[in-house]
Structure 1
Amino acid sequence: MTYQHGVNGYELPTSIAPPVVTTAGLTVVFGTAPIHLLDEPEKAVNRAEMAYTYSEAVKKMGYSADFDKYTVCEAISSHFALFAVSPLVMINVLDPEKHAVAVSETVNITKGEGILQADGVLKAKVVLKNGSNPIDKKDYELEFDDEGKLHIYTSNDGDVTVEFERLDPSLVTAADIVGGVSLDGSYKGIELVNTVFPRFREVPGILIAPKFSTNPLVAAVLKAKSKNINGLFQAKAFVDVPTSEVRDYTAVPEYKNMNNLDDPNMEVFWPKCSLGGIQYHKSTQAASLFNLIDAQNEGYPYHEASNNNLQMDAAVLEDGTEILLGLEQANYLNGQGIVTSLNFIGGWKLWGHRTSCYPGNTDPKDTFISVRRVFIYEMNQFILSYWQKVDKPGNRKLIDNVVDSKNIDLNGKAARQFILGGRIEFLREENPLTALIDGTYAFHLFITPATPAREIKGLFEFDPKYFETLFA
């Protein structure tokens, strides 16, 4: 060490650890996308992509207004066009290697241009023939228009035979959405949620699979995954009851119970939303609405999305049949842990604040959506904020740092009315000597979010004493 003589300054680490900000409503959508519109479709298969703008989402996934075929586009439309929220994580499972069929079509070339009518055409698989003779690829060009139709530009006027492969989204099954881990260690389907945090440093907040979540297997896996992301984090799973199968509101609770759609981390929605004749699954619009409400409240998920406007002009079944629920009917569904929509005061609004575990579970931390989201947020934030303390000496300095910094954080949230109050303690009875010797340190967090004002009562009484005003 060099000889020191004089006054010197040294920096020490801050004794209070600032909390890590998490994105409470970061939506991850699993489904199918029109990747045939991309230059390299194979690179958009079973890979998580994040977008902050509509154009970025389209560039990474393609876009089609046919939401029944391309379900990821439903979330793109809802997030970026209807609610203007971001970001969105998109995972496409439509695979040209598995979900494509070989077909041919006769196209009339007029003035050097022809249009292929088939949808989902894979440009790399297109072969033009004059009769049985292939046309050299140098003699024609291919380009998609805004509606996804493939235009052929060539000097060969007249009829040509076009042989090609096209994507067939109908071949995608629930097993493709569920996915898993391959022998080479790669993730597929819903398992790809484990790649979101390592890639983007954002914790998933809401998991959706438009159309596919009506399948009980997909819903079950979403439910399981919502409680174990990267072995640490939790999220919410939004699923839909199939309106093609369940057409009456009184049958929704039975479907929910028969298919085990009951968990504090799961929300169940029925029926679908329609806007200008375009249908959206209610889970899709709800995910966007939750993001919007969070953004209006500094990103903290303490505010219910219920009684806030959806982007819809009708509630419908899959075949387009309109469903108009009265307040009593909508409340019946809410009382069974089902979220619906209501056109009562102020237009069409999301209606329901109970998680799917209600009424079987009545613990407020589990049954109110906003309260549950606060607990998930706080657990995720605790992990992120104090991960840096792992393997540091478990001494008084570490304990005081965690306790002091988290109490400051909770006091600030209480001052801003995000929560009614909260504190963290390091208790002797929860830290036995055997646990401390083994390197386990337990901190007890007490958090009380405000429950939603689900019923506001006005008590009206006739008071005879005001007759005295007649003699004033």
Structure 2
Amino acid sequence: MSIRHGVYIQEEATAVQVPKTGNSSVQVVVGTAPVNMAENPSEAVNVPILANSGTEAMAALGYSVDFKNFTLCQTMFATSNLFQVSPVVYINVLDPAKHNKELAEAEYQVNQKQAVIEKEGIILEGLTVKNSTGDTELKAGEDYSAAFDSTTGFLTITMLAGGKGAAATAIKVSGKVIDPSKVTKEDVIGAVDPSTGAETGAQVIRQVYPRLGIVPGLILAPGWSQIPEVGLALAAKAAKINGVYSAMALLDLDTAKAKKYTDTKSVKEESGYTSPFCYPLWPCDRVGEYILAKSAVAGAMIQYMASDNEDVPNQSPSNHLLGVGGQCLEDGTEVYLDQDQANTVNGYGVTTAINQNGYRLWGNYTGAYPASSDAKDIWFAVRRMFSWQGNNFIQTYFDEVDDPMNNVLVQSVVDSENIRCSAYAPKYWAGASIEYKSDDNPKTAILAGTMKFRQHIAPYTPAQEIVDIIDYDTDTLAAAVGGN
């Protein structure tokens, strides 16, 4: 048996924390959906609903191409037909029990055992179906079945064999339909019931992480965010979610007020969209005959870009194709901007679109520009990287909270972060590092259970301006023609 005699070294693997990174750009969308089409409409109101595909969202919330009344469907369309991205969290505020109106009794023909009720928004609960004389009420599941057409939203009533309506040639139908016109900005902003603690509207954003384990990356309310009170509420939520996380609110400008590109300055300022955590957008996008809020299209595109980039949000969405056919106001008036006009809009801190071999999003600034000159706040991509880094740090080291505050913990965090951050350089940022400084951690702080690290990150700014200086090379010209 051999013996060991002397001094030996054995190296242990560095104990590092495994980084926890969620999807960096998950959209949380607040608005209205035709939930009367859902299996359990009452369960789809003022709750965060996670959908891993557009089809899943449509099944959970219903779907209609009436994008003005059913605003969540804009995101369903954009994430299904323009950019295939998921997951998306939807918060529907349309409550069938509250936002409804009467469906007057009317007679409908039954052809081949089926009657089509050509009315959108029919609420199945409380629906009354009678025979043509009105003296016999038919029962769902016994005399008839009801199903919605996913394209039109119309209700088809099918007579069941052996039921009391099996031989019917006409039926009478009455009840209630949802009324999206009764939804107000207050419903979208939401509130907290002081007696029950129940949250509604945008207040439900707080529940996304506790309930679904997802940190919101983008917050939007297409069809609603052009209302200043709604937009400001979303920007405030984006700045501080659950007291610790941050995101970006995609806010539309009101095209009824900003009818031309020079109006965007005053409308943005009057709306108060000056937070570094918001991204003002103008005008709307057109896809065929459909008109969508630019926030719905931009949100889908931004999420797609991040998912295609190893979930790192370092790229600016500016100068990327939107996959739309035009730009317009909400009323359908076409908008045609050239690059010079679009640059003017950008100068106000508003993002727009230009047609350069296809419509491209055009604008790098957050709402903080031009009032602020802080690079971490005015550049959309840089602001997103700061939020991404902060959110990841919180999730990665949350398990260390309440552990003994000793050098092992300090070194573990420093080593882990420096290793993790170096893996993203130079592709995703110029570099990043973290340190623990004694000056930041005096005895009083240590006794109070507080430890501070100082982290330095250097995300790339976008190459917004590329200049080629051209001069006239007369020497080359002279040499070419034999002159002196």
TM over 0.5: yes
Superposition deviation, residue 148 in structure 1: 1.4
For residues 448 and 374 of structure 2, what CA distance do their matches in structure 1 show? 33
Mapped to 2, the partners of 1:181 and 1:13 lie a distance apart of 50
- The separation in 2 between residues aligned to 1:156 and 1:340, in whole angstroms, is 59
Unaligned runs of 5+ in 2: 1-11, 159-164
Kindly state the Cα deviation for residue 152 of structure 1 after the two structures are TM-superposed.
2.4
Do the aligned partners of 2:254 and 2:267 also contact (CA within 8 Å) in 1? no
> Does structure 1 residue 409 correspond to structure 2 residue 420?
yes
For the 8 Å contact 2:110–2:171, the answer to whether it is kept is no
Judge which range, 97-106 or 274-283, deviates more.
97-106
Give the alignment partner of residue 139 of structure 1, picking from 123, 136, 143.
143
Q: 1:43 is matched with which residue? A: 43
- Structure 1 residues 366-389: Cα deviation after superposition (integer angstroms, max 9, x where no partner): 000000000000010111111111
Asked if the contact 2:316/2:380 (under 8 Å) is kept, the reply is yes
1:190 partnered with 2:195: no
Tell me the residue number matched to 1:4. none
Match of 1:357 in 2: 368
Aligned-pair CA distance for 1:468: 4.9
Which residue identity is paired with 1:81?
Answer: N
Secondary structure (helix, strand or coil) at the match of 1:410 reads helix
Written as runs of structure 1 = structure 2, the 5 A alignment for 1:320-399 is 320-343=332-355, 345-399=356-410
Q: Does 1:120 align with 2:121?
A: yes
**Residues 224-255 of structure 1: CA distance to partner in whole angstroms, max 9, x if unpaired?**
10111111100000111111232111111101
Q: CA deviation at 1:72?
A: 0.8
Equivalent in 280, 297, 300 of residue 285 of structure 1: 297
Aligned match for 1:231, one of 243, 261, 271: 243
With 170-179 and 454-463 compared, the bigger mean Cα shift is at 454-463
Structure 1 residue 448 displacement after superposition: 0.8
SS in 2 for 1:226: helix
**TM-score (norm: length of structure 2):** 0.91
Q: Which residue pairs with 1:429 in the alignment?
A: 439
**Higher mean displacement: 425-434 or 370-379:** 425-434
Q: Is residue 106–residue 172 contact of structure 2 (8 Å, CA) maintained in 1?
A: yes
1:318 partner amino acid: E
Q: Report the Cα offset of residue 142 of structure 1.
A: 2.1
1:293 shift after superposition: 1.3
> What letter corresponds to residue 304 of structure 1 in structure 2?
S
Q: Which residue of 1 aligns with 2:67?
A: 67
Deviation, structure 1 residue 134: 4.6
Q: Which residue of 2 aligns with 1:104?
A: 104
The residue aligned with 2:328 is 316
CA shift for structure 1 position 158 = 5.0
Question: Cα RMSD between the aligned structures?
Answer: 1.8
| Distance in 2, Cα, partners of 1:217 & 1:279 | 23
Instruction: Tell me what 1:9 maps to.
Output: none
Does residue 226 of structure 2 align to residue 214 of structure 1? yes
Matched-pair contact (CA < 8 Å) for 2:108–2:173: no
Deviation at 1:259, TM superposition (A): 1.8
Measure, in 1, the Cα distance between the counterparts of 2:202 and 2:124: 28
Counterpart of 1:459 (choices 445, 469, 480) is: 469
Deviation of 1:131 (Å): 4.8
Shift of 1:85: 1.1
Which is further off, 417-426 or 160-169? Answer: 160-169
Change (3 A) 1:115 1:105: farther
Question: Quick one: percent identity of the two aligned structures?
Answer: 34
Distance in 1 between the 2:382 and 2:198 partners? 35
Instruction: State the Cα distance separating 1:47 from its structure 2 match.
Output: 1.2
Cα distance between partner residues in 2 of 1:405 and 1:54:
37
Residue deviations 1:237-285, cap 9 Å, x none? 0111111232111111101111211111101111000011111111111
Aligned equivalent of 2:182: 171
Larger mean CA deviation between 421-430 and 366-375 belongs to 421-430
* C-alpha separation in 1, matches of 2:115 and 2:14: 68
Distance 2:364 2:262 in 1: 19
Partners of 1:255 and 1:203 lie apart in 2 by 31
Aligned 8 A contact 2:50 2:87 in 1: yes
| Deviation for aligned residue 1:155 | 3.2
In 2, the alpha carbon distance for the partners of 1:286 and 1:176 equals 24
What code does the residue aligned with 1:77 have?
F
Letter in 1 for 2:453: F
Work out whether residues 107 and 116 of structure 1, in 8 Å CA contact, stay in contact via their aligned partners in 2.
Answer: no
Q: Which amino acid aligns with 2:291?
A: Q
- Bigger mean CA offset, 191-200 vs 154-163: 154-163
Unaligned segments of structure 1, at least 5 residues: 1-11
| SS of match in other structure, 2:335 | coil
Moved more, 224-233 or 190-199: 190-199
